[in-house]
Structure formats: structure tokens, C-alpha cells
Amino acid sequence: MLLGACTSTGGSTSTPAPTTLAARPTSTAKLTILAPRNGQTISRHTSQVRLDLTGAKIISQTTTRIRPDQGHIHLLVDGRLVAMNYGLNEPLPRLTPGQHLVQVEFVAADHAPFEPRVLTQAAFTVKP
């Protein structure tokens, strides 16, 4: 049968062990979007993301020496990365009128996520 064609007749065969990434640390950070708030309507001309971060601090160095209380901010708008910054306030790119989604993640100093991820989001509307 077809199954017999997949087995080896010349000794044992082994399947390579799956490789996994190193375990990611858990962060002590709590990230909150202060503006725009979920469900808020904002002006195209005054659009800025404002954040609150507790339990951790933002550092400007990129390093593989990861600490659970240090990292960077990644800002995504409508699923697209628009900034990797080192502050709690960031202007939004020019947005068309309508609904948008902002996602903000506190990542480790190597720019990879913590486990579990420190991620928050808000859906908002830009008025014409």
C-alpha cells in the first residue's frame, strides 16, 4: 500500500526534533492607551497616541540582555508598524476619515515580544 512506500527498509529512521525559540521572559509592565480612547472620535489634525506605562521603563538601547522591566514601544496603526519609539507620546500618521485601530506593544530591549505579550489596542474614528 501507499504507507509502505514511506517507510525505510534499511534500518531505523528518525524524525529530527522540532526546533523552538528560547523561552521569552514575562514582563512586569502594564501598558495603557490614554488617547485615543476606545470608541473616541478625533480630529485628523490633533491625533496623537498618549500612553501610560507602569512596572517598567523605556530604554533607548537595543540589547540581548533582556530584563522584564525594560524595553521599547512598538506602535501599529491598522496593522502596520508606524513607529518603534522610546517615549509615551507619539503623533499618529495622517489618517483618512473613518475607523482605525491603534495597537501598542511594550517589547523587550531586543525588540521581540514578552510572553505573554504586553499589548493593548483602541478602535477610534477620525472625523472628516
What pLDDT was estimated at residue 24?
94
CB 33, CB 104: distance < 8 Å? yes
Q: pLDDT tens digits for 12-36?
A: 444 444 444 568 999 999 999 999 9
Q: Is the dihedral of CA 68, 73, 77, 81 positive or negative?
A: negative
Which segments of the chain does DSSP mark as H helices, in order? Answer: none
Q: Where are the domains of the chain?
A: 23-127
What pLDDT was estimated at residue 23?
87
What are the mean pLDDT values of the chain's consecutive 10-residue runs (128 residues total)? 39 44 88 96 87 96 94 96 91 93 97 96 95
Superfamily in which the 23-127 domain is placed by CATH: Immunoglobulins (2.60.40.10)
- Which class for 24: exposed (0-12), middle (13-18), buried (19 or more C-beta within 10 A)? middle
